[in-house]
Amino acid sequence: MPESIDRSEGRGLFGLDAETYDEIRPAYPQQIYDLLTASGALREGAATLEIGAGSGLASRRLLDLGANPLVVVEPDKRFSRQLRSFAEGSDAVQVINSAFEVAQLPDGRFDLVCAATSFHWIDPVTGLARIAGLLKPGGHVALWWNVFGDPNRSDVFHEATRDLLSPLSESPSGQPEGIPFALDLEARRRDFAASGGFEEPQFAMHRWTLVLDARQVGALYGTFAPVNRLPPAERRNTLEALMDIAEREFGGSVERNMISAIYLARTR
């Protein structure tokens, strides 16, 4: 069986090439932000905490939609330049380079705590329990993901690369043959219930398609934790093999089935 990546290690595997990460990771669809604003979780002047901000892909939209102040917590210092690019000169943004579990944060001060494709790197029950303590009464938590793959749709590129990628370590985001963390609705409901701080979460998802050329395939897969965990030469060979498959078997145009999923809940 492939080795599982420990959470404490995995969240430090994404800043290997921070600029490429910022360039190639797909944006979250508007449906995610529409739910946040329609529910009142995100509004003008909402005190917001983002966990695992990475390069700030979601952070920029949160700011655009009214988050103020916005505190972003990111453990990998290699993303500092990207985060500073929109934080500098703004009184609305504070960047904390720390793991969420040990970050110094004020209790009962936030209207919204959110995590975009990052919460699977935190123990879910203890993470949610801490979030409940950070929120104001009636505050919201929002956890969302871009899931690379849809269990209900055929994914020919995934099938074509299975033998190449199946020996790699497994991320807690989801095993190739299992239910992805973000889509395991019953497990996530149990996490919220066990944390003791939230009403039952609202769940929504949006299906869409990501189209990549061969270069983009290499760039995107070079942001995945199981690939970045490889020794440099093996990582390079794996990415070159992926790009070769994309070019030779798919004519340089690959479609990946995507699901963007979100859990939104209020404090009790």
Q: pLDDT tens digits for 53-80?
A: 999 999 999 999 999 999 999 999 999 9
CB 166 within 8 Å of CB 65: no
What is the predicted pLDDT for the residue at 177? 57
Q: Distance between CA 16 and CA 78 in Å, rounded?
A: 7
What is the predicted pLDDT for the residue at 175? 57
pTM of the prediction? 0.95
Domain 7-150+173-209+259-266: assigned CATH number? 3.40.50.150
What is the predicted pLDDT for the residue at 103? 97
Residues of the chain with pLDDT under 70: 1, 175-177
